Structure 1
Amino acid sequence: MPMMKRYKLLLALALSLLVFWPLGGIKADTANQPPESANQSEQISAAVATDSSDSGAGARGTPSQDSQIAAKALTVSDASAVAATETAASSQAANAENSVDNPAKPATAQSAEVSSATNQAQGQAATDAPPASKRVQELVADMTLRQKITQMLMPDFRKWQQEGQASQSDMTELNKEVAEAVDKYDFGGVILFAENVKGTAQTLALTQALQQAAIGNQANNGKLPLLLAIDQEGGIVYRLGSGTALPGNMAVGATRDPELANQAGQIIGRELSALGLNVNFAPVFDTNNNPQNPVIGLRSFSSDPKVVARLGTAMMEGIQKYNVAVAAKHFPGHGDTAVDSHTGLPLVDKSYAELEALELLPFKAAIDKNADMLMTAHIQYPQIEKDTVISKQTGETIYIPATLSDDIITGIVRKKFGYKGVVVSDAMGMDAIAKNFGESEAAIMAIKSGVDVVLMPTVLRSKSDLAKIDKIINDIEQAVQRGDIPVSRLDESVTRILNLKEKRGILDFDLSERTQAKAEATVGSELNRDTEQKIAASAVTVVKNGDTVLPFKVKSGDRILMLAAYDDEVPGLELGVKRLIADGVIPAGVTYEALNYSKTTKLEDLKGKIDQATHLVLISEIGRQSQLASDFWLTRVPTEVVDYANATGKQAAIMSISKPYDVANYPNAKAIVAVYGNKGMDPTESLKPDSAFGPNIPAGVEVIFNGQNHVGKLPVNVPSIKDGIMSETEVAYPIGHGLFYTDPVKDIKVNVPASAQLDQPFTATVTLSGLNGLEKNDYRLALKMDTQHFSIMPSPDYTISGDTVLISKKANDTNPVEISLKGLVEGQFSPVLSLTLIDSQDREFSMGEGYYKELIQITAARQSMVPGQQNPPQLSLRSVEPVSSRQQLSQQATQASQLPKTGDSSSLFLVLLGALFLFGAVYLYDLSSRRL
């Protein structure tokens, strides 16, 4: 080949490399980047495992990431699963298009649904057959059909009439007839009520006897221990006669403190476990967003579903800590009803989207936190369950309530939420079910809907009543035999029940584990009562404090009059004052009296006692809207007493002890507090009663007289009230409202300069504002100073007492006060450690130590310069991180010592470019030589 042609070919080759190398360089550059993970396949496997085992995985990573990883995990060997996935996804997409409550979803939501469809396609049995241990599988396999049915039934024996007895009596010990019934029927569990659990030793003996009757005396006889359940919510729904009642959920909601909720749960779990009770039908996860709700009210944490979720799960975990199973109730939500399902059939006309945004949110949180059980609600949801039946009582058409609805129990609980735990019905004897359905009919419908445990399917009060339970069992058995209920449906429920019994150690029940001594030391212990008192006091909410009436400051010779709505509330008022006297908050020379008013009480009957009193505490207890009417005695008496107290110059405070909506019904009251609990107590001389009692009323008294700290905020919106009717649009006091006794001093400021020289005077200025009327009379300020780092200079504007500066102010004087100080030590310190305002009644208002810490930098005095010497340059002080700097220098040195990477595209490009220029120069030289 001629030389010229070869040059041209080489030149073309070089130009080609020059043009196309950047493309190859990009690929090379990417190849040289470090991988995202040392082992990407391990990451994918872990993500898939997390997605399949944790229904709340979306909270840990974005749905799109999870679905992408799941997609990467599919291999060629998954072809059949992929095909099934596409079929399921197509079906799901079609359903989504036809649903009015399922608008178009973003790509991430679609990916999540496809992932869900994958799970369904690859293992449909995940819903139909819950996973179980070999032990549980063998137990289920060995059961007869009748045993499976009775495992799904949980009756009560709260009262019993034995043969030969004239009437029913509370069943506090296991009699022969009930023992024989428990042995014969193999019930999955029994629920106990207050009639059954009156004392610690008695309750333990009863639970032990029930378990003994259930399991028999022979080992390996196939008989199973019982789920022994109770409704121990705390507050107004409370069963243990000797235990710790607790202030209730709405009181806990007022604290907004998950730690206090958890402590309440631990008290419940600890006491139930010590007594042999292994299931608690609590906490309530209903969001009480309807002020006229007649059945939930104080049993709810809040009208904010997020607060309900946060506090409900905290309490749930506290209960579970002691191996007691919990049931989140009442699914899908009983908070927005105006009808009590104990006496009627409520209806909630909401779409799924509306329920999801409010009612369902707390239940989803409970499921994500591993709630053992969900309890259903006997409520109609016509936009969810559209099927209807004819009421057996009225003959009217009604919607199938949630408890009996497969669209709700199977559709939402099992398929939508993926819940694997036990679903228990609310009591089937409640009017919502009992008056509209037959007993057997309701039990069969509940089982078909997906319910695992049918609670109280009939009323059992004597041996003759057992014929009713026989009929229910026989009717369910016949439904199975004719194919209305598949045997597999029973197997699912029994497996879940036994899973729960295994998880909570019930299958391995040992009678010797619980002793009377341990129970006596645990139930109603001093530790539990102290925690109960702390929670109750923290919950108290100061709703109104006109003229800064609260806290009451009493002195020797004063007289306190307290009026309650019912006689069982009187001891609680008295207990609060006794504690205050014992703590020295109220002087021993103060006299007090507590009594109850009634519907026959007139103001004239009380004037003589009011005239003698210096301070009044009035209980307001409203249970329903009709009681808000001005002429209803529960509203009339407090209103008349407040008006008379205002007219005669008495200090009066109203204490709302039930649902707090009544606080808007007393516009003339200067002071109103809410305590969220109306449980009374028996008369007692002890500061810590032996039996259970309501802690809310004593806590309210203690807060009114400044004997306890409170942090309470309203957990619900309180609507305005006009003519006894609550407004549906106007809010008088919003959720989160609450005043503090420290409010009069929270706006007082102490200002100091940024810096001062050592041993040189500077000024701390105290500015006064927002004193809530306390400045109308003479008042004082007490500032605790840091005398370790500062000295206080004398001044006629204040006096010095040890480490405290005392400032006396005349009425209406809010002028600033200057305090002269000197720094004693170099460094940054706060001159004022705490500030207290003392009013004309000697009441102290303080934010506590550390609240007024405004820092000042104390520096050394400047030294004189030597004559003729130039001032040294000013250095800028910077935050230095020696370790980080050394690391950076080390990295730089390492990088400098490394040779360029041979695979780097830009380096190779420069080399090639240089070679091309060299080639060109050689070529031109050759050409010119030829011409010469």
Structure 2
Amino acid sequence: MKKILVFLALVVIQLSNAQQVDPLLAKDAEAQNIWVDSIMKSMSVDEKIGQLFMIQAYSNKDKKHEQFITSMINKYHVGNLIFMQGTPEKQVTLNNKYQSLSKVPLMIGFDGEWGLDMRLKNTYRFPWNMALGAIKDQELLKETGKRIGEHCKRVGIHMNFAPVVDINTNPNNPIIGNRSFGEDKENVTQKAIAFTEGMQSVGVLANAKHFPGHGDTATDSHHTLPTINFSEQRLDSIELYPYRKMFDAGVASVMTAHLSIPSLEANSKLPTSLSKRVVTNLLQDKLGFQGLVITDGLNMKGAANYSSPAEIDLAAILAGNDMLLIPQDVPESIKLLKQAFENGTLTEERLNKSVRKILKSKYLVGLNNYKSISTENLQKDLNAPYDEVLHRKLIKNSITVIKNQDDILPIKNLEDKKIAYVSLGDDKGKSFYKMLKNYTKVDVVSDKHLSVLMQRLQKYNLVIVGFHKSNKHPWKGYKFSNKDLVWLQEIARTKKIILDVFASPYSLLKVKSFTNIEGLVVSYQNSELAQELSAQALFGAFDVKGKLPVSINDDFKVGEGVVINNNNVLEYTVPEEAGVSSEKLSIINKRIDTILKEKMTPGGQVIVARNGKVIYNKNFGYHTHLKEKKVKQSDIYDLASLTKILASLPMIMKAEEDKKISLFSSLGDVLPRFKESNKDTLLLKEILSHYGRLRSWIPFYVNTQDSITKKNSNKYYRKKRTKKYNIKVAKDLYLTKDYRDSIYKHIVESEQRERVGYKYSDLGYYIFKELLERKYKKPLNKLVEENFYQSLGADRMTYLPLNKFSKSEIVPTEKDTYYRNQLVHGYVHDMGAAMLGGVGGHAGLFANANDVAKIMQMYLQKGTYGGKKYLDSETLDKFNKRYYADKKVRRGLGFDKPQIRPEEKPTCGCVSDKSFGHSGFTGTYTWADPESGIVYVFLSNRVYPTMRNRGLVKSNMRTKIQEDIQNAILLE
């Protein structure tokens, strides 16, 4: 009775397998059958045999090769081509030509596992499967398959030989490795099904390879016949598992591998691709697969070493394959196949079965209604912004943190960090390092000798180690050298380190101990984008949630991965990822061209961010019109009045929160020198709103010059520093220390404007500087550095830049002929701030656009950035409010606001009323809009060569760019 039950169970299994859904059946099956029948009836035996071949076609070869392919189609009726290396334009042209020659439309195949880039130049490359295997969200795999399918379809490809479904259980596998989704059968299966569904949804046939499983081999079937000595039970439970599931999901085709598997085929010299037991009995009968069965490349030694090319081709067909991939001798194979047909070895029924499946496949991909492919906009279609967005999603979701001791990730508390970057491996990490520097100061430390390297690392308390290997293709070596392993352990022994691996996770197998490595990140590939995004991940620009697709000895198991949450810092990406059109945003480039052409400024920097994502980051022009030094992202500009909202204002807001000042205090109450002056009763709120009737400015320097010669008086200045003359105004120009009190005396005694109303004034910020320094007992530059800039990672923002940077990193401002009589370079342009020693409440700050964006983003995020709270959200709301709007005062407290009066033009007039920002005399501008999420920074030195250069101001180019940004936002 037990035997009968077992027998019945086997019968049920066989019947259920045999009843697998036909993946080649079109929705309009009746029309499909009619088309297939009509073609079959018109075909000769020679034409039918020709359908069995898929030969190599190149788009980078000469006319002789084209003539060869033409001959194969015309003379031998070859029905299928696999395109290899070349360019998409040439491939489309040849595809159209070859299709026009064929009586039955050609099936075009392609080996594009990670996209067209696998074979074609100037096309898109998505991550290798090992990286995709780390992604939890299967929808992203589906999206990837779909997009690769769309690319294939665009160049006339009907079948892509992907995905690889081999379960890579052997770390030493020389040919699969990175091409596999990993070692876990469930994960591999889920990824492969999602990828297949995506690709086939757009009419491109997927191909599951390499049947029955190439994942646990230590040799390459391109060069020899690998042997797999596993039992049938093991193969059934592991290697065959994804195939069964994929057949249920409707994969259209399977590629048979060149392997020796004694448990499946007794003849150990017979490749599985030529074995009837494997191809027919196992794949089609037992597993019930009804789709197209294709051999792996018959030029590979795993098959080619077995017999002559013609005998191999015949054996492959007799084994049950439907299509011969890359046959080596088509004429001889056709002869042998015809002989077999004539002597009955190859029956008509058997031949018709394969030809019919091939024709069904051709109908399924639309070849019953073939149309030639257009080359118009081909590059644009194959390299669209959408591809970049998808690619970024994949990498961001794949990055895997497998160790995060003491929460070393994301990197925060930057004020306490001195960070070094050490590169190991034999490839470059330039993009990684460049992106790291966007977040804080990071120094490259290197040397040929370990002892010297360790000495240089002494002053650092965090070391980021990047392990970089070639990204040329997935078969490149990924292992640590013995030297790198020694260096890694020595650095980790004495320093806190984060190791970021830009190679296969299998590279970690040689690391003997992870005890001293606090942070361990796997980024899988060394592409520029992987480097850029991994650097961002270290600082918490986005959530990190990848899961390890393979195990690393007993240290880290498959599926492990620490989730790292977003740390609310800027992310650097492409416009479309932030809902902005890159095409429309590129109009800014034309504005910049005009700015440079009309010499409105020698150069500058522009940054645009939306919802915390930097989507435009451009440095343009030169330091001066001499065009000797191009502007770099790291170069810093004199921010002029942006100082008010980037230095004074954050400290004013903090002081108000600390209850050191009150907005309703009068000036006489907080600063004794103003008691009983004409400014005694002015409220701090009025001064911040530019409603205090203060004069706009006072040219203090004029009072220190001879009234006749207009030269600086010896009474006030010296060329060298002395105890008395110790205020450094500029190079070789020192002001008497007593004059600082004279400046404040001038302010105290200055007349008030008689008319009440709005008047922009610098004088209030001289007052706030003194007030803040009194309250906190520290100079303003130290206050903002310690309370804001250091922890924000704004290491390129500073007062007194020559104390921190070389002149070559600082953009000069004006050729001053009226006061300092020199090129103002590294010293503040504003005369009053210069007379205060370079630190003013209204001017004196220098920075690059990137660091300005950090503070503006902190404001936009209601006082938080990088996991730290700087200001209360209520405080930001309080200061970003007009208190005298009924008096036609557009200003908030410190912040500039959009225009109220028609004649005013502080903005483009297209931003929300909640927006805020400021402009600067030297040609600077920054603005943030809570409604659109936009942060915009424009830095320039438009005052070069002199402040009479007002083209930038008159043209309103800064606000025109602001309008371009608003117009580029996509409708949501």
TM-score relative to the length of structure 1:
0.55
- Number of the residue aligned with 1:498: 359
Deviations 1:555-586 (A, max 9, x none): 7996653525344xx2xx333454566xxx51
Superposed displacement of residue 543, structure 1: 1.6
- After superposing the two structures, state which structure 1 stretch, 523-532 or 633-642, moved more: 633-642
Give structure 1 stretches of 5+ with no counterpart.
Answer: 1-92, 98-102, 166-173, 216-222, 389-397, 459-467, 682-694, 720-730, 745-795, 797-807, 809-840, 847-932
SS at match of 1:480: helix
* 345 and 237 in structure 1: CA distance in 2 versus 1, 3 angstrom threshold: farther
Q: Does the 8 Å contact 1:540/1:700 carry over to 2?
A: yes
- Number of the residue aligned with 1:453: 323
Aligned-partner Cα distance in 1 for 2:208–2:106: 20
- Number of the residue aligned with 2:86: 196
1:655 and 2:511 are equivalent in the alignment: no
Q: Does the 8 Å contact 1:622/1:659 carry over to 2?
A: no
1:726-765 alignment runs, 5 A limit = 731-742=554-565
- Number of the residue aligned with 1:471: 332
Q: Which amino acid letter does the alignment assign opposite residue 344 of structure 2? A: G
Superposed displacement of residue 676, structure 1: 2.4
Q: Does the 8 Å contact 1:622/1:628 carry over to 2?
A: yes
- Number of the residue aligned with 1:105: 6
Superposed displacement of residue 665, structure 1: 1.2
Q: Which amino acid letter does the alignment assign opposite residue 105 of structure 1? A: V
* 333 and 111 in structure 1: CA distance in 2 versus 1, 3 angstrom threshold: closer
1:38-437 alignment runs, 5 A limit = 105=6, 111-113=12-14, 133-158=33-58, 175-193=66-84, 195-197=85-87, 200-212=88-100, 214-215=101-102, 223-234=103-114, 238-386=118-266, 388=267, 398-437=268-307
SS at match of 1:336: coil
Q: Which amino acid letter does the alignment assign opposite residue 536 of structure 1? A: I
* 845 and 741 in structure 1: CA distance in 2 versus 1, 3 angstrom threshold: farther
* 540 and 147 in structure 1: CA distance in 2 versus 1, 3 angstrom threshold: same
Q: Does the 8 Å contact 2:543/2:563 carry over to 1?
A: no
- Number of the residue aligned with 1:643: 489
Deviations 1:79-118 (A, max 9, x none): xxxxxxxxxxxxxx9xx97xxxxx963865555557789x
Deviations 1:571-603 (A, max 9, x none): xx333454566xxx514xx356599x9xxx653
Aligned-partner Cα distance in 2 for 1:710–1:249: 18
SS at match of 1:677: coil
CA RMSD of aligned residues (A): 4.3
The partner residue of 1:544 within 403, 414, 422 is 403
1:585-734 alignment runs, 5 A limit = 586-587=439-440, 590=441, 603=450, 615-619=463-467, 621=469, 634-646=480-492, 649=495, 651-660=497-506, 662=508, 665-667=511-513, 668-678=516-526, 680=527, 695-719=529-553, 731-734=554-557
Q: Does the 8 Å contact 1:699/1:708 carry over to 2?
A: no
Aligned-partner Cα distance in 1 for 2:566–2:512: 22
Aligned-partner Cα distance in 2 for 1:494–1:845: 67
Q: Which amino acid letter does the alignment assign opposite residue 348 of structure 1? A: I
- Number of the residue aligned with 1:487: 348
- Number of the residue aligned with 2:381: 522
Superposed displacement of residue 741, structure 1: 3.1
Superposed displacement of residue 448, structure 1: 0.1
* 594 and 331 in structure 1: CA distance in 2 versus 1, 3 angstrom threshold: farther
* 845 and 742 in structure 1: CA distance in 2 versus 1, 3 angstrom threshold: farther
* 577 and 654 in structure 1: CA distance in 2 versus 1, 3 angstrom threshold: closer
Aligned-partner Cα distance in 2 for 1:439–1:717: 41
Aligned-partner Cα distance in 1 for 2:105–2:393: 37
Deviations 1:862-913 (A, max 9, x none): xxxxxxxxxxxxxxxxxxxxxxxxxxxxxxxxxxxxxxxxxxxxxxxxxxxx
Superposed displacement of residue 312, structure 1: 0.7
- Number of the residue aligned with 1:872: none
SS at match of 2:258: coil
Deviations 1:97-151 (A, max 9, x none): 7xxxxx963865555557789x89xx9xx9xxx9961221221222122221221
Aligned-partner Cα distance in 1 for 2:470–2:171: 12
Deviations 1:662-705 (A, max 9, x none): 25615243322112235x46xxxxxxxxxxxxx43333333223
Identity %: 26
* 333 and 483 in structure 1: CA distance in 2 versus 1, 3 angstrom threshold: same
In the alignment of these two chains, the number of paired residues is: 570
Aligned-partner Cα distance in 1 for 2:302–2:16: 39
Aligned-partner Cα distance in 2 for 1:229–1:665: 41
* 562 and 469 in structure 1: CA distance in 2 versus 1, 3 angstrom threshold: farther
Q: Does the 8 Å contact 2:81/2:108 carry over to 1?
A: yes
- Number of the residue aligned with 1:815: none
Q: Does the 8 Å contact 2:480/2:507 carry over to 1?
A: no
Aligned-partner Cα distance in 2 for 1:367–1:105: 24
Q: Which amino acid letter does the alignment assign opposite residue 646 of structure 1? A: A
* 263 and 580 in structure 1: CA distance in 2 versus 1, 3 angstrom threshold: farther
Deviations 1:426-483 (A, max 9, x none): 001111111232211110110000101100111xxxxxxxxx4322221222222222
Q: Does the 8 Å contact 2:147/2:199 carry over to 1?
A: yes
SS at match of 1:307: helix
Q: Does the 8 Å contact 1:262/1:318 carry over to 2?
A: yes
* 560 and 238 in structure 1: CA distance in 2 versus 1, 3 angstrom threshold: farther
TM-score relative to the length of structure 2:
0.53
Superposed displacement of residue 261, structure 1: 0.7
Aligned-partner Cα distance in 2 for 1:273–1:545: 43
Give structure 2 stretches of 5+ with no counterpart.
Answer: 568-657, 659-786, 788-863, 870-972
Superposed displacement of residue 293, structure 1: 1.7
Q: Does the 8 Å contact 1:237/1:299 carry over to 2?
A: no
Q: Does the 8 Å contact 1:576/1:697 carry over to 2?
A: yes
* 486 and 502 in structure 1: CA distance in 2 versus 1, 3 angstrom threshold: same
Deviations 1:400-432 (A, max 9, x none): 221001111111222112222110000011111
